Amino acid sequence: MKKIQISPSILSADFSQLGNEIKRLEEGGADMIHVDVMDGHFVPNLTIGPPVIKALRNHCSLKFDVHLMISPVHKYIDAYADAGADIITIHPEATEDLEKSILRIKELKKKVGVSLNPETKIDLILDHLDKIDLVLIMSVNPGFGGQKFMPEVLSKIKELKKIQLEKNINFDIEIDGGINFDNYKLAIEAGANILVSGTTIFKSNNGDIKKNIDLLKTE
């Protein structure tokens, strides 16, 4: 059983204090920082890009788990790697050649993730599972924090976990969207080992980040 890791999403952080916010996450026991990059085209929201990631890089020693909700994505991969991303996760719907994008991320010596929207089937990435480090299962439609968890994706995680065991391949399963104190154990039981959370970590218990991270790590 892989150790459960918490990757807080800074989409729910105070954007006017991002440097301090990621320091708070590190001090609060986060395992990595989930950075939601949105371009207002692949998703109906616009957040941050390489310059902000570069500015944040030295404020925190944790890995940057960068979730690229942008399309096209291939031509921007190098910029996010240069800015300091450690894990680069892309959406298959956002690249004309998923294999080419996966290989480019690996060439840059970064960990590669592939993200599936709630309605996207695992079939789309079956042929690539042996090349990737992480599958990011969306439990909301991407674009905004604070949305309602979609429990129907749990069966997708179970299916992915089954395939992983049958093929004996090692990749992390990360779940992203609407994770809270009532559903995180369902995600873990289904097979997720990395939990992304924004609203629950930043807003619950009067914003007590350490308490909220500890609660999500409670078995």
Active site residue 176: yes
Candidates 25, 43, 50, 67: give the one binding Zn ion (CB under 5 A). 67
Nearest residue (CB) to Zn ion, 173 versus 219: 173
Q: Which of 31, 36, 39, 65 is catalytic?
A: 36
Sheet harboring 63-69: ordered strands across? 5-8, 194-197, 172-176, 134-138, 111-116, 87-90, 63-69, 32-38
Active site residue 123: no
- Tell me if 87 sits within 8 A of 133, measured CB to CB: yes
* b/e 119-155 (16+ beta carbons within 10 angstroms → b): ebeeeebeebbebbbbbbbbbbebbbbeeebeeebbe
Q: Considering CB distances under 5 to 8 angstroms, the limit depending on partner class, which of Zn ion, ligand DX5, none binds residue 199? A: ligand DX5
Q: Which of 31, 65, 133, 176 is catalytic?
A: 176
In the complex, the smallest distance separating the C-beta of residue 75 from Zn ion, rounded to whole angstroms, is 21
In the complex, the smallest distance separating the C-beta of residue 93 from ligand DX5, rounded to whole angstroms, is 14
List of residues 6+ apart from 107 with CB closer than 8 A: none
Nearest residue (CB) to Zn ion, 136 versus 166: 136
Residue 39 near Zn ion by CB under 5 A: no
In the complex, the smallest distance separating the C-beta of residue 25 from Zn ion, rounded to whole angstroms, is 15
Active site residue ranges? 36, 176
